[in-house]
Amino acid sequence: MTFVFLTILLSLFGLFNLFGINQDLFWKQLINIIFAFLIFFILKKFSFNFFKINSRFFYLFFLSLLILSFIIGVEIKGSKRWIDFGFFSFQSSEFLKPFFILFLSDYLSKKNIFENDLFVLFKTFIYFFIPFFIIFKQPDLANSLTYLTIFLVLVFFSKINKKYFFYIISFFIFILPFVFFILKPYQKARVLSFLNPYFDTKGASYNIIQSIITIGSGGFLGKGLGFGTQSKLNFLPENTTDFAFASLVEQFGFFGGGIVIFIYSLLIFFIFKKILYYFFEKNEDSYDKFLFCLGICSYIVFQFFVNVGMNMGIMPVAGVALPFISYGGSAIMSLMISLALLP
């Protein structure tokens, strides 16, 4: 129940933040959160072994939906990430995350696959690369980087020979300069704006500059609910999603932002306790649980640090949502599914 209490606190901060900016989104997100918690309690009725046994099915099912969304999905702001059901826009890349982690952790924990580490690594890479490539081409750089982080963490802590892991890292370092040239123009501009925040103050750098101004304008106690002029008057773009943390600090100040960071720290701490428990447990069957908890932790930690970092101008703008705070139904449901599956 600790996870439930902490996620409720974070969700409440997200809801109050939305209420002060856009009350229509507040009611929509409230419905999203109610459904997310219903899903959480339903999934908690099933054992971890049930999902483990069916991990391949869940992975292939949501991967199919990801491919379908890329083909026939609704295009919003140049990205095809959603399947529109009328009452709900389904973002398959979000729903795939927990089952991608579940499937990889189950596969990498099998005892009989490590006769050939290179072959295992190749298959694992294929399982990762298919969704990664589709998400990257949507385009959705933020989610593709989340999948990459999860993949690297799971491979590093698996039983695969570590020299192969460093081969992968070397490969990604080698191709990194070339990746810049295949990015979309707006993505290139985001990278350049991070390196030089004032090279295009009315264009690519505008978001970072406004985010820093918004955080600074909140002071210690904030301007109060609904009185955040930077976010309320839309000087700060994407104030309910990518830059939700900045708009939250403007309304609730450094004090409110500090409380939110403290709650995240507690959530990560309790997940980390599970990781350590399954790591030291003298039971071979607990290895998949160790990898799964590790994958979920890397998912939440990555998005938390990148989002807060880009809001403060110390990381490039990558469009990463802040877990439980940023507006979005698929994201909150994916997070609650992830926590529900924790053994």
Task: Calculate mean pLDDT across residues 150-169.
Answer: 85
Of the listed ranges 23-37, 74-88, 267-281, 286-300, the least confidently predicted one is 74-88
Compute the radius of gyration of the chain from its Cα atoms. 20
Model confidence over 161-220: pLDDT tens digits? 777 778 777 877 777 766 666 666 656 666 655 555 555 555 556 777 777 778 888 888
pLDDT at 111 over 80: no
User: What distance separates the 2 farthest-apart alpha carbons in the chain?
Assistant: 62
Per-residue confidence band for 262, with pLDDT thresholds at 50, 70 and 90? very high
Task: Give percent of the chain with pLDDT exceeding 90.
Answer: 42
What is the rounded distance in angstroms from the CA atom of residue 136 to the CA atom of residue 149? Answer: 14
- Which pLDDT score is estimated for 138? 83
Backbone dihedral angles phi then psi of residue 219, each to the nearest 5 degrees:
65, -155
pLDDT above 90 for 132: yes
* pLDDT of 199: 58
**Cβ atoms of residues 336 and 37 within 8 Å:** yes
Say which range, 1-15, 50-64, 150-164, 219-233, has the weakest mean pLDDT: 219-233
pLDDT confidence of residue 53: 92
Reduced to 3 states, what is the DSSP secondary structure of residue 323? coil
3-state secondary structure 156-173: HHCCCCHHHHHHHHHHHH
Confidence (pLDDT) at 96: 94
What tens digit of pLDDT does each residue of 30-39 get? Answer: 999 999 999 9
**Average pLDDT of every residue of the chain:** 84
